[in-house]
Amino acid sequence: MRDGFSIEELKKRLQNSRYKLTHQRQDVLEVFLNSTGEHLSAEEVHRTLRDKGYDIGLATVYRTLELMCSPEMNILQKMEFGEKRARYELKKIEENGHQHHHLICKKCDKVIEFSEDMLEGLEQKIAETCNFNIIDHQVLFYGYC
Protein backbone atom coordinates (compact mmCIF):
# COMPACT_ATOMS: atom_id res chain seq x y z
CA MET A 1 0.00 0.00 0.00
CA ARG A 2 1.20 3.48 -0.72
CA ASP A 3 1.14 5.04 2.73
CA GLY A 4 0.63 8.70 2.28
CA PHE A 5 2.51 11.79 1.40
CA SER A 6 5.70 13.36 2.58
CA ILE A 7 6.17 17.04 3.18
CA GLU A 8 8.19 17.15 -0.06
CA GLU A 9 5.29 15.61 -2.00
CA LEU A 10 2.92 18.20 -0.53
CA LYS A 11 5.34 20.99 -1.42
CA LYS A 12 5.52 19.79 -5.05
CA ARG A 13 1.75 19.51 -5.37
CA LEU A 14 1.22 22.94 -3.86
CA GLN A 15 3.81 24.53 -6.14
CA ASN A 16 2.32 22.83 -9.19
CA SER A 17 -1.03 24.40 -8.27
CA ARG A 18 0.56 27.78 -7.47
CA TYR A 19 0.13 27.52 -3.73
CA LYS A 20 2.82 27.91 -1.07
CA LEU A 21 3.78 25.48 1.65
CA THR A 22 2.94 27.59 4.67
CA HIS A 23 3.92 26.39 8.11
CA GLN A 24 0.20 25.96 8.93
CA ARG A 25 -0.29 23.63 5.95
CA GLN A 26 2.79 21.68 6.91
CA ASP A 27 1.63 21.44 10.54
CA VAL A 28 -1.80 20.13 9.50
CA LEU A 29 -0.27 17.50 7.21
CA GLU A 30 2.11 16.39 9.96
CA VAL A 31 -0.89 15.68 12.21
CA PHE A 32 -2.07 13.17 9.60
CA LEU A 33 1.39 11.75 8.98
CA ASN A 34 1.66 11.10 12.74
CA SER A 35 -1.88 9.69 12.98
CA THR A 36 -1.96 7.10 10.21
CA GLY A 37 -5.14 5.09 10.10
CA GLU A 38 -7.15 7.67 12.04
CA HIS A 39 -10.16 9.55 10.74
CA LEU A 40 -9.85 13.04 12.19
CA SER A 41 -12.33 15.90 12.30
CA ALA A 42 -11.21 19.49 11.80
CA GLU A 43 -11.80 20.08 15.50
CA GLU A 44 -9.53 17.15 16.43
CA VAL A 45 -6.77 18.41 14.13
CA HIS A 46 -7.14 21.89 15.64
CA ARG A 47 -7.05 20.53 19.19
CA THR A 48 -3.95 18.44 18.43
CA LEU A 49 -2.11 21.46 17.07
CA ARG A 50 -3.21 23.72 19.95
CA ASP A 51 -2.12 21.06 22.48
CA LYS A 52 1.34 21.12 20.87
CA GLY A 53 1.45 24.89 21.35
CA TYR A 54 0.78 25.94 17.76
CA ASP A 55 -1.14 29.17 17.27
CA ILE A 56 -3.56 28.25 14.49
CA GLY A 57 -7.21 29.12 14.02
CA LEU A 58 -9.96 26.62 13.39
CA ALA A 59 -10.89 28.44 10.15
CA THR A 60 -7.30 27.98 8.90
CA VAL A 61 -7.52 24.27 9.68
CA TYR A 62 -10.80 23.99 7.73
CA ARG A 63 -9.37 25.86 4.72
CA THR A 64 -6.24 23.71 4.76
CA LEU A 65 -8.24 20.48 4.96
CA GLU A 66 -10.45 21.52 2.04
CA LEU A 67 -7.39 22.47 -0.03
CA MET A 68 -5.77 19.09 0.66
CA CYS A 69 -9.00 17.35 -0.44
CA SER A 70 -9.20 19.28 -3.70
CA PRO A 71 -8.70 17.35 -6.96
CA GLU A 72 -5.40 19.10 -7.67
CA MET A 73 -3.96 18.20 -4.25
CA ASN A 74 -5.70 14.83 -3.72
CA ILE A 75 -3.84 14.28 -0.43
CA LEU A 76 -6.72 13.88 2.01
CA GLN A 77 -10.05 12.12 1.65
CA LYS A 78 -13.12 13.72 3.20
CA MET A 79 -15.76 11.36 4.60
CA GLU A 80 -19.13 11.67 6.29
CA PHE A 81 -19.80 8.86 8.76
CA GLY A 82 -23.30 10.05 9.69
CA GLU A 83 -22.26 12.08 12.72
CA LYS A 84 -22.93 15.51 11.18
CA ARG A 85 -19.27 16.42 10.80
CA ALA A 86 -16.68 15.56 8.21
CA ARG A 87 -13.71 13.39 8.97
CA TYR A 88 -10.47 13.31 7.04
CA GLU A 89 -7.72 10.81 6.43
CA LEU A 90 -4.65 10.55 4.24
CA LYS A 91 -5.70 9.36 0.82
CA LYS A 92 -4.38 5.83 0.67
CA ILE A 93 -4.59 3.83 -2.50
CA GLU A 94 -3.86 0.13 -2.56
CA GLU A 95 -1.17 -1.17 -4.89
CA ASN A 96 -3.91 -2.48 -7.20
CA GLY A 97 -5.26 1.07 -7.54
CA HIS A 98 -8.27 0.62 -5.25
CA GLN A 99 -9.16 2.52 -2.14
CA HIS A 100 -10.17 0.95 1.12
CA HIS A 101 -13.70 1.09 2.48
CA HIS A 102 -15.09 1.69 5.96
CA LEU A 103 -17.21 -0.33 8.37
CA ILE A 104 -18.89 1.91 10.97
CA CYS A 105 -20.28 0.49 14.20
CA LYS A 106 -23.59 2.17 15.08
CA LYS A 107 -23.15 1.28 18.77
CA CYS A 108 -19.60 2.45 19.59
CA ASP A 109 -18.77 4.59 16.48
CA LYS A 110 -15.66 2.49 15.79
CA VAL A 111 -14.43 2.78 12.19
CA ILE A 112 -12.79 -0.29 10.67
CA GLU A 113 -10.96 -0.10 7.35
CA PHE A 114 -11.72 -2.84 4.83
CA SER A 115 -9.27 -3.19 1.94
CA GLU A 116 -10.74 -5.92 -0.25
CA ASP A 117 -12.40 -4.29 -3.25
CA MET A 118 -15.16 -6.37 -4.81
CA LEU A 119 -16.71 -3.50 -6.75
CA GLU A 120 -14.53 -3.50 -9.86
CA GLY A 121 -17.11 -5.33 -12.00
CA LEU A 122 -19.94 -3.17 -10.66
CA GLU A 123 -17.98 0.01 -11.36
CA GLN A 124 -17.29 -1.09 -14.91
CA LYS A 125 -20.97 -1.99 -15.50
CA ILE A 126 -22.14 1.38 -14.12
CA ALA A 127 -19.62 3.22 -16.29
CA GLU A 128 -20.70 1.38 -19.42
CA THR A 129 -24.45 1.45 -18.74
CA CYS A 130 -24.57 5.12 -17.80
CA ASN A 131 -21.77 6.30 -20.10
CA PHE A 132 -20.11 7.70 -16.99
CA ASN A 133 -16.38 8.03 -16.28
CA ILE A 134 -15.96 7.04 -12.63
CA ILE A 135 -12.93 8.67 -11.04
CA ASP A 136 -13.55 7.93 -7.37
CA HIS A 137 -15.95 6.26 -4.98
CA GLN A 138 -16.57 5.78 -1.27
CA VAL A 139 -18.27 2.83 0.34
CA LEU A 140 -19.51 2.88 3.92
CA PHE A 141 -21.04 -0.12 5.67
CA TYR A 142 -23.01 0.47 8.87
CA GLY A 143 -23.58 -2.24 11.44
CA TYR A 144 -22.34 -3.53 14.78
CA CYS A 145 -18.93 -4.80 15.82
Confirm whether residue 116 is marked as ligand binding.
no
Residue whose C-alpha is closest to residue 5's, from 79, 99, 101, 93: 93
Within the chain, where are the H helices? 7-16, 23-33, 42-51, 58-69, 120-130
120 labelled ligand-binding: yes
Helix (H) or strand (E) holding 143: strand 140-143
130 annotated among ligand-binding-site residues:
no
Cβ pair 61, 55 in contact under 8 A: no
* DSSP state letters, 22-47: -HHHHHHHHHHHTSTT--B-HHHHHH
Per the DSSP assignment, residues forming a β-bridge with 79 are: 87
Binding-site positions for Fe cation: 120, 137
Binding-site positions: 105, 108, 120, 137, 145
Binding-site positions for Zn(2+): 105, 108, 145
